[in-house]
Structure 1
C-alpha cells in the first residue's frame, strides 16, 4: 500500500486517474477554475507541474471521487468502509464482551490497535531541507487563491497538530489558514474543535500554543484527521488502523510535536493567545464568502522543512461537489456503525452532499413505539461532535431507501402533518459561517418525523401502502426478456440514478 503522497499519486496514474499538466498555470484563480470544472464531472486528479512563480508542482482533486477516497483507505469498494466503521465503533465505546464471538472480535480489534501504533523516524524525509527564521517565506509556496473576492491565498489540506498544554495529548485537525505576511497566517476553526480547546488552555496558563502544519501527507492520514474521535484517542493511531500498519512520525525541529515523517512540507510556529489578525473574506464550504473575523488566531511560523523536490497538495471549498464532500460521503459509511452504537434504533443514516454533507441528515429507524422518531432525532444531535451543526434531521421508516430522494420526499409528503410532526429547537450553538441564522453562532434545529404514525400519535387507522402483486411481479421478472425489453431496466429504482448510493 502507498504510504506517502507521491506513492499514492503513482497509484492514481497507473489506474488512469491522474493527469499531468505541463502548461504554465497561475495559482491565482486559474488552477482552481481548471480543477473545479473536472470535479463537477468526476474527472481525474491533476498534477500541475509548471505553476507561475513557484518552484513546486501542485496536486489537486486527489480525493475528488468516492472511488479515489476508497483507494486512499486501501479499499476497492465503498461498502468496505462500513466494516472499518465497525472496528472503530468497538474502540469508540468498548463494552465487556458477553459471548465468546464478541471476545474474539474485540481481541482482533485490539491486535489491530497494536499493529497501528505509530513509530519514530529519526531521519525523516520531511526534514531533508530546513529553513529557519528569515529564510521562511510562505509567499513562495503555490498557495491557491480560489475566488475573486478572497482576501488572500489559503492553505486548505494542511494537518494542524497541537497538544493539550496539560495532558500533552495531541490533536490533529484540518483547518483553513489564510496568508497574512511572509511568515504569518490566520486560522479559521470551529469552537468545538480540539485545537481551540488547546488554545483556551494555553491562554489560561499564560503560554503560547505550539503549532505544526503538515502539508502533502498520504490521504488516509487526512481521513483519520477528519474522523470524529474522543479527545483521548489519537488520530495517528486511527491512521494506522486505516492503513493496516503504524504511521511513521518524526519530531519537529523546534517544537515538542510529532508530524508524519513523509510529509512534503512542515511548517512550525506558535500562536500567542493575545495575537490576532483579520481573517477573510474567503470562499467557504457553505457556497458563499465567509465573513471577516477581526479576532482570528494568528500563527507565526519560524521554521519550514520539506522533502527534496516537494509536491504541494491542496484542495478548495465551495458549493458541492468538492473534495471535502467526497470525503464526507466516505466518512458517512464509517460513521454508521459508530452512530448505531450510540443510538441503537437507527438502522441507517445519510448526509446528502447537496446539504453540505452535514447540514441535513436522513435517518431510518425500526419503529416500535410512539415518539421514537423524535427520540432518535434528539439522540442523533448529541451522538457525535460534528452533528452539533446539523440543522435538519428527517426520520423515516426502515423500508425507505434514504439515498433515493424520491422515496424520502414521498415519505415527507405522505406521512407528515407539520403541526404534529415538525419540532424546532431554538437557540443552539451553531456554525458561524451559516448566514441563514439570525444571530451569528446561534440557530435553530428542525426535526421531521416522516415515519408511519401509530397510536397515540394518531387516532386514524393508517392505510396499507400500495404494492405490486408479488406473484405477478415475479412472473414479469421471469418473462422480461420475452417482452423484447432485455436491454432496458425492469422498473427497479437505479440506486445510482441521483448519485447518492455508494454501493
Structure 2
C-alpha cells in the first residue's frame, strides 16, 4: 500500500493494453490495479477512458476482453500511456515518435497481444463480462482518498519478465507529486497540437494542482461576439478535456501557468451577469466527489474578454462581519475569507455575498483556513478540489434573463470542506519516521 487507508496493495504504474473488439484499434493507459490475490486484480477504468470503452464493447457482446499489462519499459512508453490522446489515436505510435525509433515489440509464445520487448514485466489475462468487485479506497492525485466502488476484474493467466526485472511504481497524493511533473511535461509537449485539433484554441493549460480536470484555462479567438463560447464547447467536447469542471476563457495572450496574473486579468474583465455559465446535471471526473455523486455533477465556463471593466481592489479595509475569522487577499480582485466550519453554518457563503463591506470585490472565496491565500499552488488545490459550481457558487443577487441565470456580484465560492468529502491525504507520523529510517538504510550516502 502507499497510503495508510488504502484498501490493499496496488500496482500503481501499470500500462494497460487493450484492443477494441470491433475495430481492433488499441488503447494504452495507466489504470491502477488493486491486487486481490495471486491471480486477480481490480481494473480502475474510470469514465472517458479508452480501455473502459473497449471493455464496454466486449461486455455488450458477452465476451471477455483480453488484457495485457506492461510494467516498466522505455520512458516513452510510459509517457504515451499517460498522454490524454483523443480516442482511437494510437499510443504505441506516440511512444515511437517520442523515442525517435519504432517501439520494439515481440510475439507472445502463448498467443494473444504482442508484448513490448523492453517491458520489465507483462501480465497477460482477461476481464470477463459482468464481473465486478469492490475497489479502493486509494490515496489519489487529487490529494484525497477515492472511495470504494465496483470495478471490473483482471484475471492473470501468465506472467512474462526480463532477467533481473525491476518492478516500477509511483506515488500519487496531494500535489505536487511525480504525476504532476509528468502531466506538466506532457502539456508542454502536446500544446502545439491543440490549435490543429481545435482551430479556435490558441493556447490551453490544465492545472495539476487541481488534479488537472478541475480547472483549465484557454486563450481563444473572439473575432465576433461570443465566439469564445464556440471554443469553450469544443474544449468540453474533446476526450479527457470533457471532464473539465471549471473552464476559464480569454481572448488575450496570457502566460496561463501563471495563475495569479491570469486570474487578475479575468477578474478585471468578467461581467458576471453575462460571462458566467453553470451547467448542471452533467458528467464529472470519477475522482471528484464535490457533488456528492459519482461521475455526476456540474461544470462552469467563465469569460474574461476584451478590455477591463473595473479596477481591482488590492487591500481589504473595514470591519469583518460576524463569524469571519480572517480575510486575506490572494490577488487583485480576489479575497479569501476564513469562515466557520460548514456544519455550523452551511448558508454562510450566501450571506457573505450580500454583505455591503465586500461589494467592491469581484470574487470572494470562503475557506476553512485563510492560509491558502499565501500560495498559488495551495489556493488552486484547496479551492478547485472543494467546490462544485452548481452547489457552491453564490451571488449578491441572481435573476433570469432570456433563460440565462444572471449573477450580480460579488460572487462567493464556498470552498469549505463539506460533509461526505473523502479524507485528505496526510502522512502519519509513524509512517514518516519509518520511511526516514529505511531511506537512510537504503541510501546511506544519499542519492
TM-aligned CA distance change 1:498 to 1:423, over 3 Å: closer
Q: Which runs of 5+ in 2 are unaligned?
A: 313-374, 378-447
Structure 2: distance between partners of 1:277 and 1:407: 46
For residues 38-76 of structure 1, what are the alpha-carbon distances to aligned partners after superposition, in whole Å with 9 as ceiling and x for unaligned? xxxxxxxxxxxxxxxxxxxxxxxxxxxxxxxxxxxxxxx
The residue that corresponds to 1:31 in the other structure is none
SS of the residue 1:220 aligns to: helix
Counterpart of 2:201 (choices 338, 346, 353) is 346
Structure 2: distance between partners of 1:254 and 1:274: 26
The residue that corresponds to 2:261 in the other structure is 407
Q: CA deviation at 1:374?
A: 2.2
The residue that corresponds to 1:332 in the other structure is 187
TM-aligned CA distance change 1:393 to 1:266, over 3 Å: same
The residue that corresponds to 1:75 in the other structure is none
- Structure 2 residue 143 is the aligned partner of structure 1 residue 298: no
Q: TM-score, normalised by structure 1?
A: 0.59
Alpha carbons 1:188, 1:296 under 8 Å: kept:
yes
Alpha carbons 2:104, 2:117 under 8 Å: kept:
yes
Question: Which fold has the larger relative contact order, with Cα–Cα distance below 8 Å and residues 6 or more apart in sequence?
Answer: 1
Counterpart of 1:202 (choices 46, 54, 58) is 58
Counterpart of 1:319 (choices 157, 174, 179) is 174
More helix by share: 1
Structure 1: distance between partners of 2:111 and 2:288: 35
Structure 2: distance between partners of 1:316 and 1:146: 7
TM-aligned CA distance change 1:414 to 1:229, over 3 Å: closer
Task: Report the count of equivalent residues.
Answer: 316
Instruction: Please give the root-mean-square deviation of Cα atoms over the aligned residues, in Å.
Output: 2.4
The residue that corresponds to 1:444 in the other structure is 298
SS of the residue 2:265 aligns to: helix
Matches within 5 A, 1:408-447: 408-447=262-301
Structure 1: distance between partners of 2:220 and 2:93: 32
Structure 1: distance between partners of 2:274 and 2:305: 12
Q: CA deviation at 1:397?
A: 3.5
Structure 1: distance between partners of 2:88 and 2:7: 36
The residue that corresponds to 1:287 in the other structure is 143
Structure 2: distance between partners of 1:188 and 1:351: 23
SS of the residue 1:274 aligns to: coil
Counterpart of 1:377 (choices 232, 240, 255) is 232
Give the ranges of 4+ consecutive aligned residues of structure 1 lying more than 4 Å apart after TM superposition: 461-465
Structure 2: distance between partners of 1:194 and 1:400: 32
Matches within 5 A, 1:32-43: none
The residue that corresponds to 2:125 in the other structure is 269
For residues 351-401 of structure 1, what are the alpha-carbon distances to aligned partners after superposition, in whole Å with 9 as ceiling and x for unaligned? 12212223211112343322122222112111x301011111111232432
- Structure 2 residue 16 is the aligned partner of structure 1 residue 151: no
Q: Which runs of 5+ in 1 are unaligned?
A: 1-144, 454-460, 466-496
